[in-house]
A and B are shown apart, each in its own frame.
Chain A
Amino acid sequence: MPTVFVIDDRSLLAIGSLIDVTNHIDVFSGMNQLCESGELMFPPEVVKAVRQRGDASQPIDRQLIIWIEAVQGRMDCDVAFGHKRAAQLWAQNNGYEEGLDPFAAGDSCIVAVVGLMLDLVERHTDFVVVTDDFTERPGRAALGSITERLGCRVQNIRTFADECMRLCSSAA
């Protein structure tokens, strides 16, 4: 069973600024392959957040929004209420008294992402979380810190993007 990559909205929105514009298509192509093989996962809340935060008038965000809307239909990553509750329970028992995203104005997806991680742990699925988010700040927990505290593996966004490009070139 290959390793599954779990990614959140912040990492997807950050990819564009971390890699050269000439490599964007290759990265999306690689991510596409990972989605099709079930090796890249994100819950529907991530799609919604990317749509809300992205700027469709800018090429990279437009590309991301088009891509994510295209792949979401083929992805079955709904996170059950029970796993979201487990995520918030973990948060409250680990110093996030108000939960993972108490300042969220609308829907925030970190509870769903951590819920997905807990689901994968429960199913003994090998996974790695793609994130550079380690800075604790008010109102939203840092996904990288949570991942480490849960004893799960983390991969930084650039390395993930490089892997996607390699995947694309090997397929070609």
Chain B
Amino acid sequence: MAWAMAEASVAARDLATHLNVPETTVRSWIDERAMPTKGQLDKLARFLARPSSFFFLARPPASRSSTALFRRATGSNKDWQVPSGPDLAAIRSAQNAQEVSRWVADKTSRSAIELPPATPTDTPDDVARKLRAWLGWQTAEQIELRDDQVAPTLRAHIEERGILTANFTLADEHCRGFCLPDPVSPLIAINTRDDVRARALSYVHELAHLCLGVESLCTAEADSGTERWCERVAGCFLLPDAELRTFVADVLAVTTVRDIEDVKRLANHFNVSNRAAAVRLGQVGLAASRLYHTVNSQSATKSRASGRNGVAQTRARRRVQRYGRTYVTQLLSAEESGVLSDLDVLEYLNVSRRELAEVRAIASDKADL
């Protein structure tokens, strides 16, 4: 219990407050001088984002490498890099999905995914071009889409390549996403707390990390060389140099963008966020000084969620949205081939048999999630 509390960065006082018991009671549970009731155990398990059976373990399990890596930032002075308990639970959930996917791949001889290889010395523009070609992504198609369709369409392109894509609403609004490289089951996850127009950038950013083959936990502030490099790849992917310069010269008819209205026109044209447009203009030397700061201060602080198009948000739909069609389809195919039973699939997706029928229908439907 003490270990789970430390992992989730929860103090005895916080837990006591949540459970409405004295702090001494929580301490007596930690010291094993007393035991919680069944109801208290269920509540504390939910609060610490663990299954209740976890608290019967004789000793803490070894931290998985990724979780340990994500936690190592604790010692740094960047508080925003320390995932909270619920965010660590999201990372664990992604790790679990990746482990299941890898296991299924092994049983079904699914081959490795050949991502375009990259190193940080490659130019972001080159890597972005390779990624667009690999995904079959056309800037013209991106421009034609509605702004809230870009991220789901891009997700579908990424999933067609066999990459697991997960969506989590992470507690930390600064955390944009994370990735877990793997030869057969690479996974990228993005934070749906981000504005719908910023999510496409997050997908490509995490994809760039996968090309480098390193795990990452990414924040809105690109603070390291690798983070900046991935951010540039994402910018080049969605706002390619040539198309960007043409738009600025021919449509905005300026040599340097100074006006926030011009930034908005550019962002609306490419279906990206105003911030992403301003950052990209700065990268290619077309932005007036402090343009990003002006845009950033005037941009909405409240994120716009993706459109639901009147579709009911059932638990089945939320599961497919969370884990993505690639993972769900892998599970359903494994069931069809007898590698998994329907009961295994129910457990992995945490749905009922009735909901699984709906999951099947959603997974086979090509509509946006």
Q: Does B350 contact A (CB under 8 A)?
A: yes
Q: A61-B353, A139-B99, A139-B100 are in contact. Are A100 and B61 (CB under 8 A)?
A: no
Q: Does A148 contact B (CB under 8 A)?
A: no
B100 touches A138 (CB 8 A): yes
> Chain A's nearest CB lies how many Å from the CB of B42?
8
> Chain B's nearest CB lies how many Å from the CB of A46?
13
A55 touches B352 (CB 8 A): yes
Complex: A98 Cα to B57 Cα, angstroms: 8
A137 touches B58 (CB 8 A): no
Query: B58's contact among A81, A89, A100, A111, by CB below 8 Å, is which?
Result: A89
Query: A55's contact among B42, B340, B353, by CB below 8 Å, is which?
Result: B353
- Residues 98-123 of chain A, each 1 if its beta carbon lies under 8 Å from chain B, else 0: 11111111111011000000000000
Complex: A58 Cα to B342 Cα, angstroms: 15
Complex: A88 Cα to B51 Cα, angstroms: 13
* Residues of chain A in range 30-89 having any CB-CB distance to chain B below 8 Å: 52-58, 61, 81, 84-85, 87-89
Q: A53-B353, A139-B100 are in contact. Are A84 and B56 (CB under 8 A)?
A: yes
Interface size on B, residues (CB 8 A): 29
> Chain A's nearest CB lies how many Å from the CB of B181?
18
A99 touches B353 (CB 8 A): no
Q: Does A163 contact B (CB under 8 A)?
A: no
A57 touches B100 (CB 8 A): no
Considering only CB atoms, which chain B residue lies closest to A89 in the complex?
B58
A92 touches B35 (CB 8 A): no
Complex: A85 Cα to B54 Cα, angstroms: 10
Q: Does A14 contact B (CB under 8 A)?
A: yes
> Chain A's nearest CB lies how many Å from the CB of B69?
18
Using a CB–CB distance below 8 Å, which chain B residues touch chain A? 35, 42, 51-54, 56-59, 61-62, 93, 96, 99-100, 103, 340-341, 343-344, 346-348, 350, 352-354, 357
Identify 28 residue pairs between A and B in the complex whose beta-carbon atoms are under 8 Å apart, listed by A's number. Answer: A52-B352, A53-B347, A53-B352, A55-B353, A55-B354, A56-B354, A58-B353, A81-B35, A81-B56, A87-B56, A88-B56, A99-B54, A99-B56, A99-B57, A100-B53, A101-B51, A103-B347, A104-B53, A105-B51, A105-B347, A106-B51, A107-B51, A110-B53, A135-B341, A137-B103, A139-B96, A139-B99, A139-B348
